[in-house]
Amino acid sequence: MVLRMGLGLCLSLCLGLGVAGSGRASAAEPGQPAPAFRLSDLDGKSHSLADGAGKYVVLEWTNLMCPYVGKHYRSGNMQAMQRDYTAMGVLWFTLNSSAPGKLGHCTPTEWRLRAADWRAVPTAILLDPDGVVGKAYGARTTPQVFIIDPKGALVYTGPVDDRPSTDPEDIPGALNYVREVLDAGLAGIPLAPRATMPYGCSIKY
């Protein structure tokens, strides 16, 4: 119930701010080495990009009060991807860069409750309250996904799919960029690194 109230509030705030983004270039460029990072999860355990050496790594920026994030979690779309790809050896990190006092910021305890409610199953949920990692990657909306290949190069940055809406019913007919990139990469099919315009709620640094 608390989550639903938060989603409604976030929808009005996000729409008022212009959720599609400003169009500025990402700080992390596709085809280039992904910025190194080290962050703590909800239990205080440290995780780094180096943990994914030789593997695909997904960085999913999130705000569980954002209706665009809710679209993918209410439908089970995000959890299905987390399950499918972690089972194939992909490291999937869900990150939150909302600053303390800003919309989307939660304590570890609040995150555990919310993640359990959504049945999220990433490798780990990482907290970036000072926004250092988010800014290094140029993350600006939620959800926004960055995919890093086994050599450590950024191969994709952008939204989950090509339907910039909050309606879960749009998911079945959408082009899922995340699955497209990971399926090709895991099958050994090279794809040109690319950036796609993200959509969602702006990250509150």
Cβ contacts of 30 within 8 Å, gap of 6 or more: 154, 155, 156, 157, 193, 194, 195
Contact 96, 127 (CB under 8 A): yes
pLDDT at 3 over 70: no
What digits encode the pLDDT tens for the residues 159-186? 999 999 999 999 999 999 999 999 999 9
Residue 64 pLDDT: 85
**96 bridge partner residues:** 127
Mean pLDDT computed over every residue of the chain? 88
Q: What CATH number is associated with residue 148?
A: 3.40.30.10
Contact 36, 153 (CB under 8 A): no
Q: Collapsing DSSP states into helix, strand and coil, what is residue 61? A: strand
Residue 190 pLDDT: 82
**24-28, 40-44, 64-68, 136-140: lowest mean pLDDT where?**
24-28
**190 against 61, higher pLDDT:** 61
Q: Please give the average per-residue pLDDT across 184-194, as a whole number.
A: 94
Question: Domain tally for the chain?
Answer: 1
Confidence of residue 27 (pLDDT cuts 50, 70, 90): confident
Contact 157, 196 (CB under 8 A): yes
Residue 73 pLDDT: 96
A 10 A CB-CB count for 87 gives 9
Q: Note down the domain range covering 143.
A: 2-202
**103 against 85, higher pLDDT:** 85
The string of DSSP letters for 137-169 reads HT--EESEEEEE-TTSBEEEEE-SBS--SS-GG
**57 bridge partner residues:** 91, 148
What digits encode the pLDDT tens for the residues 71-98? 999 999 999 999 999 999 999 999 999 9
Instruction: Identify residue 113 by its one-letter amino acid code.
Output: L
**194 bridge partner residues:** 156
Residue 131 pLDDT: 96
pLDDT at 148 over 50: yes
Identify which of 19, 83, 34, 46 has the alpha carbon closest to the alpha carbon of residue 193.
34
Q: Please give the average per-residue pLDDT across 7-15, as a whole number.
A: 38
Q: Please give the structure tokens belonging to residue 133.
A: 């990692």
Residue 129 pLDDT: 95
Q: Please give the average per-residue pLDDT across 13-23, as a whole number.
A: 38
d(CA 29, CA 38): 19
Contact 96, 62 (CB under 8 A): yes
Cβ contacts of 72 within 8 Å, gap of 6 or more: 78, 143, 160, 168, 171
Share of the chain above pLDDT 90, in %: 80
**Helices 77-86 and 67-74 meet at what angle, rounded to 10?**
60
